[in-house]
Amino acid sequence: MSILQEIFLWSQKSLAPWQQDAVSRLYVNRTMADADLEDLYALAKAEHGIVDPSGRQSKPLAAGQFVAAPLKNRLVQLTAIKDFVNVNALAEGMRLPISPNGLTVIYGENGAGKSGYSRVLKQACRARDQRELILPDARKEPGKVGPAQAVFEATVDGQPIELHWVNGKESPEQLSEIAIFDSLCARAYIDNQGDFAYVPYGLDILGGLVAVCSAIKDKATTEKRLNTPNIAIFSTLAQTSTAVGRALKAIPGATKAPEVEALATLSVLEADRLITLNKVLAEADPKQKAQVLQLRAQRLTDLSVQITAAVDSVSDAKILELKRLVETSSTARRAAELAAGVFKETPGLLPGTGGDEWKALLDAARAFATQSHAGHQYPHLPDDSPCPLCQNPLGQEGVDRLASFDAFIAQAAERAWKDARKAAMDALRAFEVAKPNIQIDAALKQELNDASPEAAVNCSEIQCVLLDRHAQALAACVSKYEWSRIQPMPVEPCRVLLELTTRLESDAKALEAAMDEKAKAAMVVEQAELDARTRLIDFKIAVLDAIAKHEHSSKLQACIESISPAGISRKATELSKTTATQEVADALNAELRSLNVHELQVVMKPVSPGGKTQFKLALQLPGGSPPAAVLSEGEQRAIAIAAFLAEMQLGKGLGGVVFDDPVSSLDHRRRWEVAARLAAEAKKRQVIVFTHDIYFLCILQQKAEEADAELSTQCIRRTGAGFGVQTDRIPFDKLKTKARIGALRQLHVSVERAYKAGEEDDYKRLTRDAYYHLRLAWERAVEEVLFQSVIQRFNEGVSTQNLRYVVVEDDDYAEIDAGMTKSSKFEHDAAAPAQLPTPHPDELKGDIERLETWRAAVEARKQIIEAQRK
């Protein structure tokens, strides 16, 4: 089981959730930013009841984030990566082949798309360094692209398999057996003592976790100190022998915020009661005062009765009833007038007949007839009797006329109007008499002001409003005011008067009770309790703040006490016992020697954390200088590679390794050592190298050849289809002679195609380009074929052993001179009169094959010369 796997399982069982989150962050970033510490601090407090306003949740390290436990003797080898979707700007549907054995070098210039492959490998193979995000192609419409995806072709114990990877989901565990060397996988770093210490992959997490715990503990301690509550402000109140005093003394402890809220809240009755108690207990003659209050209460009661009666006299019900009677009388009158109109149309009647005066005259005649015509029923009088009105003989015509007049008066409309008018007049007279006048003399008004200014104002206002309603209703009865405009009924002050009366009666009773010493003592206690609660209102915010700070500090203390790095240190010590060993030191030193870093030596150095002697592996420089002061960036990079390879050897795993620009920051000389070491490693396992350094590519080719390691070279470039497009063709100037001849043959095909198509400009351009590259091929042939790579440009060494193959004959000179001379003619700018004709494609083909014929002849001659020189 690897260290990371042990830490993962141990963290699930032994660490708090926030510490598991810290493990996850340390795995990804190795160091903690201030924002990370703030997040972790909030999570740690939340676990002890301190609510996080941001609602952050712990995110422990997931098994899918790191390398899975390798299966014993299982061999996982990559053979290709394909079907890229939404990976930066990599061309979709493209396939990058990888040799399952030996060394695969993938070359791409800057901006060719190499970083896209690197990021996918880091994510899929669960490398720690995943800071570089995989983004979709910027040319695609935002929000309409899915997650990055790719398919890995692999073999597991020789059996082909396709492994699908989707960014954001757990990657296939088989891919985790492929190790990635990147900036965060370095096992060596400069520690706090200035040593360049070695820490196995993952063990640095525990050291970082101890530091995080210390930082979180310091934050909690500081916050607790800043949250010390101030109780001095209410200390005097806490000394009282009241419920408030007892509650304040119990802080911190039993007293909680709801209890303080309840004590610091007084009802209106309680507030009034305190006022009463203050007055009563301050009164010199309680008996006399009680009598005064009782008389005042009686006057207020009488006033309340008056107001109730006045309000009732002009109530909405009374006014509505008056309105109904008046409107009914008016309606009946209009009906009677309509009937009278018909009557008035009778021929021979005097003007005004049927009017009110005429009706009054007729009523008087009826009354007079009871005396002047006794014994007869009006209007049925004898025709020879005198008329009760004019006292002339009636005659039959006069009798008939009186009968018709009486019949008109007796009609239903006339009777209804008469009855309605009477009812309306009766109600109007009653409403006029019931004038809502409230009697408030100066003394009573002063008493009201003294007891309640609000009540005094309300009583004065209601008097005006009631009188206005009375006048407006009377005006409406005679159509001088609209009923709808009558002022609305005001709020009666009777409730306030009742409260005043109740308070006065209560005060009077309290004054009477104050004459009893026992009752007075109880009142003193009650006054103290209410007074303490009133004072608590002023201190409530401070008290609640003190309770909150005590509770907060208590939770912080629990948080502080829960943070103990002892268990983490024990686990680190336990794991260190298997890593800080002489075997590890020997492996590291062997790797440093293989990289030609002989001046550095890994030693076992004693350290004593907490008084316990342990050992760590540290780099030692000649002269005892601290590594941090003298090691260059390139040397530190070489040490990192050595530490990585040492762990690979000690792990005894079979998985391949991927190096992303391993020689970045390395000097010219050390690149050769790294290339040689990677070529040697390729003899044991699959090695994949991404590089943009064409010189390093050449070194890798040479070292792979020297180590007899399989070598596969791929080139990626940018095309119209996108970035990262794979091709087997590497740059011409990095090809060997034989490969260059093959490239020239392909170029000849293009020349011949342009010639046959009649594309003269393309034909000439391609022909000149072909001869330019043919010249380069002759130059490389001199170095590689004729002199058998004894001396190579930019190579630090001279391969003297290869001299056993070398011989230069006259024919060699002649062929090389002829080939170079002809090729050079098309490289330079000739004078206009000396323009050379463009060679026919067949001529170009012959010149290319001439180089191949010479090369093959020299290679065949090599074996004969070697045999002769043995």
Q: What pLDDT is stored for residue 832 in this prediction?
A: 46
Is it the case that residue 473 has pLDDT exceeding 70?
A: yes
Using one digit for the tens of pLDDT, what is the confidence trace for 494-549? 777 777 777 777 777 776 666 666 777 787 887 888 888 888 888 888 887 887 78
Residues 334 and 405 in one domain: yes
Query: Is 66 within a domain?
Result: no
Residues 290 and 278 in one domain: no
Q: What pLDDT is stored for residue 31 in this prediction?
A: 76
Distance, in Å, from the CA atom of 150 to the CA atom of 128, rounded to the nearest integer, reads 19
Model confidence pTM above 0.75:
no
Query: Is 519 within a domain?
Result: no
Is it the case that residue 835 has pLDDT exceeding 70?
A: no
Residues 401 and 459 in one domain: no
Q: Are strands 196-198 and 188-190 parallel, antiparallel or unpaired?
A: antiparallel
Q: pLDDT tier at 483 (50, 70, 90 boundaries)? A: confident
Q: Which helix (H) or strand (E) holds 226?
A: helix 204-226
Is it the case that residue 754 has pLDDT exceeding 80?
A: yes
For residue 788, give its domain range: 732-870
CB 101 within 8 A of CB 710: yes
Domain boundary among 431, 453, 470: 431
Is it the case that residue 466 has pLDDT exceeding 90?
A: no
What percent of the chain is modeled with pLDDT above 90? 9
Q: How many domains does the chain have?
A: 4
Domain boundary among 410, 431, 452: 431
Using one digit for the tens of pLDDT, what is the confidence trace for 32-59? 889 999 999 999 999 999 898 999 998 8
Distance, in Å, from the CA atom of 598 to the CA atom of 313, rounded to the nearest integer, reads 119
Is it the case that residue 430 has pLDDT exceeding 50?
A: yes
Cα three-residue angle 273-276-278, rounded to 5 degrees: 110
Q: What pLDDT is stored for residue 194 in this prediction?
A: 53
Q: 491-505, 571-585, 590-604, 839-853 — which one is most confidently predicted on average?
A: 839-853
Least confident of 28-42, 433-447, 597-611: 597-611
Radius of gyration of the chain (CA): 58
Query: Is 469 within a domain?
Result: yes
Query: Is 237 within a domain?
Result: yes
Residues 741 and 857 in one domain: yes
Distance, in Å, from the CA atom of 4 to the CA atom of 9, rounded to the nearest integer, reads 9
Residues 441 and 329 in one domain: no
- Quote the tokens at residue 869: 């020189």
Q: What pLDDT is stored for residue 161 in this prediction?
A: 94
CB 181 within 8 A of CB 641: yes
Residues 413 and 490 in one domain: no
Q: 40-49, 712-721, 833-842 — which one is most confidently predicted on average?
A: 40-49
Query: Is 813 within a domain?
Result: yes
Residues 248 and 348 in one domain: no
Question: What's the length of the chain?
Answer: 870
Residues 480 and 545 in one domain: no
Q: pLDDT tier at 613 (50, 70, 90 boundaries)? A: very low
Using one digit for the tens of pLDDT, what is the confidence trace for 396-406? 777 767 766 66
Q: What pLDDT is stored for residue 658 in this prediction?
A: 92
Q: pLDDT tier at 623 (50, 70, 90 boundaries)? A: low
- Quote the tokens at residue 752: 């011949």
Q: pLDDT tier at 196 (50, 70, 90 boundaries)? A: low
Q: What pLDDT is stored for residue 133 in this prediction?
A: 77
Q: Which helix (H) or strand (E) holds 605?
A: strand 601-607
Residues 848 and 761 in one domain: yes
Residues 759 and 832 in one domain: yes
Q: What pLDDT is stored for residue 833 in this prediction?
A: 47
CB 206 within 8 A of CB 501: no
CB 163 within 8 A of CB 152: yes
Residues 373 and 494 in one domain: no
Domain boundary among 378, 406, 431: 431
Q: 334-338, 342-346, 663-667, 784-788 — which one is most confidently predicted on average?
A: 784-788
Is it the case that residue 708 has pLDDT exceeding 80?
A: yes
Residue partners of 138: CB distance under 8 A and separation at least 6: 89
DSSP string covering 174-218, please? GGGGSEEE-TT---EEE-TTS-EEE--TTTHHHHHHHHHHHHHHH
Distance, in Å, from the CA atom of 603 to the CA atom of 722, rounded to the nearest integer, reads 50
Using one digit for the tens of pLDDT, what is the confidence trace for 809-833? 888 888 888 888 888 877 655 544 4
Q: What pLDDT is stored for residue 612 in this prediction?
A: 46
Greater pLDDT, 334 or 178: 178
Q: pLDDT tier at 182 (50, 70, 90 boundaries)? A: low
Using one digit for the tens of pLDDT, what is the confidence trace for 235-261? 888 888 888 888 888 787 777 888 888
Greater pLDDT, 71 or 160: 160
What's phi and psi for 297, nearest 5 deg? -65, -40
- Quote the tokens at residue 443: 């003394």
- CA 841 to the chain's CA centroid: 68
Query: Is 251 within a domain?
Result: yes
Query: Is 444 within a domain?
Result: yes
Query: Is 388 within a domain?
Result: yes
CB 693 within 8 A of CB 721: no
Least confident of 244-248, 579-583, 713-717: 579-583
Is it the case that residue 103 has pLDDT exceeding 90?
A: yes
Q: 440-449, 467-476, 666-675 — which one is most confidently predicted on average?
A: 467-476
- Quote the tokens at residue 142: 């935002």
Residues 739 and 865 in one domain: yes
What's the chain's average pLDDT?
79
